[in-house]
Chains A and B, each alone.
Chain A
Amino acid sequence: MRVLVPFKIVADLDLLRGKKWTITNNRPEDPAFVKKIINPYDESALELALKLADNCNKHGLETELHALTIDKKQADLFLKKLIATGYNLASRFDCAVDLQFNPSAKAALIAAYLEKFGPFDLIIMGMQSSDEDNAKTPYLTAEETGWPCISGITGFNGCETGSIRVFSVNDQGTIEQTIHPPYILVVGNAPNAYLRIPTLKAIKTAAEKEIKIINLETFNITPDQLNTKVDPDLIDLVAVDNSRKSLLIEGPSAEEKVSLLYDKYLKGRLSSL
C-alpha cells in the first residue's frame, strides 16, 4: 500500500498569543520569527500513517510512506526527522510562488505529484493548518483527483484484505467505515497521535538519506497557472483584540485567594444559576 502524507510547517502560534501583530501587505510579519512546528493536524496524519504501516506490516502487507511538503529549505530538518520515524521517501516542493491563502494551488500540486509519482492508495492529511485556517486543501484535493474522502478521521486499521477500517467523528457521532482505496482521509482531533520520537540511530541513518526536491518545472506548471487559482482573494487582515481585564486575585495563601474569589465574584453568580 502506497501512502502519501502532505504536510505543512507552520509557526508555533501559541508563542504569539497576546502579542501585538505587525501586518504588511496583508501578511503578518511575526510568524517568521518564531519557532516552527509541523501543523498539529498534519502531525496526527503523519503519525496515523506510521501506525497504519505498523499494522499492515503485522498482516504481511507492504507499505510505502511518502511525506510531501511545499516549502523552502527550512523544511529539510523536518523531512529528515520523518525519514527517521519510518517514512520511505520525503519530498519537498520548492515553489517560489506565494501559496498563502491559495489552497486550490496546493491541491493542484498535490494532484500533480500523485499523477507523476503514483499510483498511491491513500492520501492522509490534516483537516486544516493553524495559520491560514483555510480548511479547504483536502477537499479540493478530493475534487482534483476525483477520489472520495472522509473527514474527521480519528484512527484507522489496516485489514488483511487491503481494505481499511476507518474511524471518524463528526456532527453525527462516531462512525466506523470499511473502505477500499483509493481514498483521501482527512484527520481531525485524533487521540494518541503525537508524532513518535525516532531513535538516535535512526536519526543518524536518516541524515545520510536524500530529500527529493521537486519544483514547478517537474510538472510543467507555470507560476501564473497557480496565481490564477486564488479565489476568494484576501483583501484585508486585522489583528483581533481578545484581551480582558486580567484582574489578579492576590492573597497570602491559596485559601485566602479562593475566599476572595468566591465572596466577591462567584457567590452571587452561582446562586443565580
Chain B
Amino acid sequence: MRFKVIINACSPVFLRRVEEVCAFIDAHKTLFRVNHYTDAEALVFYSQEDVEEQLAEKLPFRKIKLIKLKHYQPEPILYALEELEGQNPADLYIFTGDLAGNELAVRFASRMKSSSLVAVEKLDRQQGNMIGSKKVYSGNLLGSFHFIKKPYCLSLARGMNRIETSLPRQKKNINYFDYSTYNDERVPVQCREISKTEEQCFDKAQFVIAVGRGAGNREAVAHLERISRQLGAELGVSRPVVMNAWAPLNRLIGASGNVIAPDICLALAVSGSPPFYYGIENSKLIIAVNTDKEAPLVKAADLVIIDDYKVIIEELCKLIVKSN
C-alpha cells in the first residue's frame, strides 16, 4: 500500500505530532507493508526559512518533500497537495491529530472525491476493505467505518501513543518546494500571532490536579492553581471551566484539549463528562473527589472520596507539605 504522511511544521509542537504519526505507522506495519516508520514518505509544510535545516535534521523519514509557505493557511496547503499529489495519488494519506490535520484530511479528500475519517485510532483490513475505527457519541461508543473511495484520508485521534524518532541526515532524500508566493485574495488580509503554543504543559506532568465546574468560580480555580504549584502538580480543567473563562484554554483537558497520561490524576469537583474522561483515561491512577456519588467520574475512577473537595485538598496539601 502506498501511503504518505502530511505534517504541518508551522506548528511549534509539530514534532510531538510526528512522534504520534510514527507510533501509528509502527503499530500498523503489516497493514502498510513497511519495516519501520522511516519508510513513510512525508509532505511537510513549514513557514520559516530558518527552520529548514532543523526540519531536515529532525524529520525521521527517508523521503521528504519540504514545502515552504508564507504562513499557515489551509488554502495554500490544499492547493499544493492537489498540485503535487493530484495526478498520481497514494492509496492513503495520514494527517496529524490536531485541528489542522482534521481540516486538511477532510478537505483534501473532498477535492480528490475520496473517503475521509477524522480522529482515527486504528486501521484494519477486513475482507479486502479498509476499516478505520474511532470513538463516537462522546467517547461512549467505538465506530468502525468502511472507507469506500481512494485515496483514503485520515487524521489521527488526539493524544495517540508516541515514540522517540530519529534517522541520520544522510539517509534522507529531501526535495524542496516553494509555495510562499501563493496568492489567494480570499485568505485573511491580516494575520497576527498573539501567542505561540509553548511546549505542552502536560507533556512531562506526572501529577495532575484536574478541576471541574464544581469548583464554583474563578477565584477557587486560581487558588487551586497555587496549590497545584505548591504540590508540584500541573493544573488541568474541564470544558465548563474554560467556557466560564475561569482558566485559560491551554489548561483544558479532554477530547478537544489536552489528552494526558500522568501517574496520578486527582480530579476535584469534576462530573466527568465523556469528552473530559477521554482526556484523562490514560492516567495510571485516577482519584475522584466529589460530593455527588452519582457523578459519572465516580464509576470511572480508581479511588473515590465523597466529600467537599476544598476540605480534602487542604488536608492533602498539609500532609504532602509536611512530608517534604
Interface residue ranges of A41-68 to B (CB < 8 Å): 44
Q: Closest A residue to B130 by CB, please name it.
A: A232
Instruction: Give the segment of A91-99, A127-135, A197-205, A211-219 that binds chain B.
Output: A127-135
A194 touches B190 (CB 8 A): no
Work out how many contacts link A and B, with CB atoms closer than 8 A.
Answer: 267
- The smallest beta-carbon distance between B154 and chain A, in angstroms, is 9
A172 touches B72 (CB 8 A): yes
B263 touches A175 (CB 8 A): no
Contact partners of B107 in chain A: CB under 8 A: 139-140, 142-143
A175-B194, A231-B148 given; A191·B243 CB < 8 A: yes
- How far, in whole Å, are A132 and B144 apart by their CA atoms in the complex? 12
Q: Closest A residue to B132 by CB, please name it.
A: A232
B192 touches A177 (CB 8 A): yes
Interface residue ranges of B127-160 to A (CB < 8 Å): 131-132, 134-149
Q: Closest B residue to A131 by CB, please name it.
A: B137
B300 touches A171 (CB 8 A): no
A23 touches B106 (CB 8 A): no
Contact partners of B301 in chain A: CB under 8 A: 244, 246
- State the majority secondary structure of interface residues on A: mixed
B242 touches A143 (CB 8 A): no
Contact partners of A134 in chain B: CB under 8 A: 118
Instruction: Give the segment of A1-9, A14-22, A71-79, A113-121 that binds chain B.
Output: A14-22
Q: Closest B residue to A256 by CB, please name it.
A: B315
Contact partners of B274 in chain A: CB under 8 A: 13-14, 17
B118 touches A136 (CB 8 A): yes
B134 touches A133 (CB 8 A): yes
B144 touches A235 (CB 8 A): yes
Q: Tell yes or no: B306 within 8 A of A by CB.
A: yes
Q: Closest B residue to A165 by CB, please name it.
A: B190
Interface residue ranges of B90-148 to A (CB < 8 Å): 98-100, 102-103, 106-107, 110-111, 115-119, 131-132, 134-148
Contact partner of A172 (CB less than 8 A), chosen from B102, B103, B197, B206, is B197
B106 touches A136 (CB 8 A): yes
Range, interface on chain B: 35 or more
Contact partner of A135 (CB less than 8 A), chosen from B118, B299, B308, is B118
- State the majority secondary structure of interface residues on B: mixed
Count of interface residues, chain A, beta-carbon cutoff 8 Å = 84
A17-B274, A257-B307 given; A189·B243 CB < 8 A: yes
A237 touches B303 (CB 8 A): no
A191 touches B244 (CB 8 A): yes
- How far, in whole Å, are A14 and B285 apart by their CA atoms in the complex? 22
A189-B242, A243-B300, A246-B304 given; A238·B142 CB < 8 A: yes
- The smallest beta-carbon distance between A57 and chain B, in angstroms, is 23
B140 touches A249 (CB 8 A): no
- How far, in whole Å, are A135 and B157 apart by their CA atoms in the complex? 12
For A129-159 the 0/1 string (1 means CB < 8 A from B) is: 0111111100110110001111110100000
Instruction: Give the segment of B21-29, B32-40, B222-230, B316-324 that binds chain A.
Output: B316-324
Interface residue ranges of B162-200 to A (CB < 8 Å): 184, 186-197
B148 touches A21 (CB 8 A): no
Q: Tell yes or no: A265 within 8 A of B by CB.
A: yes
B308 touches A254 (CB 8 A): yes
Complex A-B, nearest 3 residue pairs according to Cβ-Cβ distance, in ascending order: A17-B296, A177-B188, A232-B145
13 A-B contacts (beta carbon < 8 Å):
A13-B140, A16-B140, A31-B137, A178-B189, A180-B189, A188-B256, A191-B242, A231-B148, A243-B300, A244-B300, A249-B304, A254-B307, A269-B285
